């Protein structure tokens, strides 16, 4: 079967490998759709090295084989299998840092989501990581469960009191999902800063009250103008660009919060720390998601609260994977979904 493997920095190959065989408790899933995530691009570029070099974690598909003893699943079930699953028992899990659980990153789809078939380990299956997709949900929609879950976790961690004015820096897939969630969450004005005019247009269509291009407008000034000179209550950095973080810090009001969702380039540093204290600004990061959020993400997509369909700008066949990378890096794309 065909799979995409990362074999060193920038070296992505489509390989023919043998189909994994499920051990007891595992599932074998035929991939039907797998979103290409910014973190996949970062892994390919070699700037994000903290995670295992496995590509493709926004995968959905159909169960092709059920390992002995995998309860509750049948061949033919349409599923979302979460790639990382915590233990829900250790100190990290009990104290709310489930995505920092030592078990969390030990488990992943084998050999990865960009494969004709992949094995879901028994750990993920037995810890509730596999969700059945509702009949009405397309595979393409299902491929947004994982990224949307990450956004839900981020907003939970940040806390968004009703009426909060929010700036989102970066209108890629994560920024646009956050934008839609914030509307549902009861935020006040949601402003978006983004350099791609194409993505700015998408932000306006998906409900942003203001969509500004930092190449043309002083974003901080614009945010102040829209918030009675105060600044935003919350700014969320949904981009890896180092400029994005300083833009966010400068655009929040005194006592405001800055959320970090996009992963900055390795080695990025932060200046102006004293300003954080004198202006009492909190930095809150959020990384990945758990089953608590994947279940909510599935519901929000199936209820139509979040429009994911219109965010898909390109569908690329697995055998043309390098094209998917190229498209995802373009300013005129939002979400690239890989199909078998």
User: Which chain residues interact with Zn ion by CB under 5 A?
Assistant: 37, 86-87, 90, 93, 101, 147
Q: Give the start-end residues of each E strand in 206-288.
A: 210-212, 232-237, 252-260, 282-285
Least distance (Å) between residue 106 CB and Zn ion:
11
Q: Based on CB atoms, which residue is closest to Zn ion, 155 or 212?
A: 155
End-to-end CA distance of the chain: 11
Q: Based on CB atoms, which residue is closest to Zn ion, 93 or 137?
A: 93
Q: Based on CB atoms, which residue is closest to Zn ion, 148 or 219?
A: 148
Least distance (Å) between residue 117 CB and Zn ion:
20
Q: Based on CB atoms, which residue is closest to Zn ion, 252 or 297?
A: 297
Q: Based on CB atoms, which residue is closest to Zn ion, 78 or 84?
A: 84
In contact, 227 and 165? CB cutoff 8 Å: yes
Alpha-carbon distance of 165 to 177, in angstroms, equals 17
Q: Based on CB atoms, which residue is closest to Zn ion, 241 or 287?
A: 287
Cβ contacts of 161 within 8 Å, gap of 6 or more: 233
Least distance (Å) between residue 54 CB and Zn ion:
12
Least distance (Å) between residue 103 CB and Zn ion:
6
State the DSSP string of 273-322: HHHHHHTT-EEEE-----HHHHHHHHHHHHTTSS--GGGEEEEEEGGGHH
Least distance (Å) between residue 57 CB and Zn ion:
6
Alpha-carbon distance of 337 to 299, in angstroms, equals 21
SS3 content of the chain, % helix, strand, coil (to 5): 35, 25, 45
Q: Based on CB atoms, which residue is closest to Zn ion, 61 or 147?
A: 147
Alpha-carbon distance of 336 to 37, in angstroms, equals 8
Give just the sign of the alpha carbon dihedral 308, 81, 337, 166.
positive
Residue 32 is inside which H or E element, if any?
Answer: strand 27-35
Least distance (Å) between residue 220 CB and Zn ion:
29
Q: Based on CB atoms, which residue is closest to Zn ion, 150 or 202?
A: 150
Nearest C-alpha neighbor of 53 from the set 82, 89, 11: 11
Cβ contacts of 235 within 8 Å, gap of 6 or more: 166, 167, 168, 169, 247, 248, 249, 251, 252, 256, 257, 258, 259
Least distance (Å) between residue 43 CB and Zn ion:
11
Least distance (Å) between residue 87 CB and Zn ion:
4
In three-state secondary structure terms, 190 is: strand
């Amino acid at each position: 079967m065909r799979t995409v493997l990362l074999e060193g920095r920038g070296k992505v190959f489509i390989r023919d490998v043998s189909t994994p065989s499920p051990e007891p408790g595992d599932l074998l899933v035929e991939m039907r759709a797998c979103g290409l995530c910014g973190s996949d691009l970062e892994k390919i570029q070699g700037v994000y090295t903290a995670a295992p070099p496995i590509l493709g974690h926004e995968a959905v598909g159909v169960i092709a084989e059920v390992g002995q003893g995998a309860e509750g699943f049948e061949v033919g079930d349409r599923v979302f299998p979460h790639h990382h699953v915590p233990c829900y028992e250790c100190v990290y899990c009990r104290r709310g840092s489930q995505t920092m659980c030592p078990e969390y990153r030990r488990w992943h789809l084998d050999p990865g989501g960009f494969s004709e078939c992949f094995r879901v380990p028994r750990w993920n299956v037995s810890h509730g990581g596999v969700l059945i997709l509702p009949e009405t949900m397309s595979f393409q929609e299902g491929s947004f469960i994982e990224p949307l879950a990450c956004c839900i976790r981020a907003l939970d961690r940040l806390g968004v009191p009703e009426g909060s004015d929010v700036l989102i820096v970066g209108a890629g897939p994560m920024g646009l999902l956050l934008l839609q969630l914030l509307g549902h969450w009861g935020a006040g004005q949601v402003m978006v800063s983004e350099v791609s005019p194409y993505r700015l247009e998408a932000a306006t269509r998906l409900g942003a009250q203001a969509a500004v291009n930092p190449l043309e407008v002083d974003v901080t000034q614009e945010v102040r103008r829209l918030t009675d000179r105060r600044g935003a209550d919350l700014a969320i950095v949904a981009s890896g660009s180092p400029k994005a973080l300083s833009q966010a810090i400068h655009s929040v009001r005194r006592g405001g919060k800055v959320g970090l969702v996009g992963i900055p380039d390795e080695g990025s540093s932060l200046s102006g720390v004293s300003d954080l204290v004198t202006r009492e600004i909190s930095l809150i990061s959020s990384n990945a998601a758990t089953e608590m959020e994947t279940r909510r993400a599935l519901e929000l997509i199936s209820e139509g609260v979040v429009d994911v369909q219109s965010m898909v700008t390109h569908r690329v066949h697995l055998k043309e994977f390098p094209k998917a990378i190229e498209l995802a890096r373009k300013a005129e794309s939002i979400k690239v979904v890989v199909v078998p």
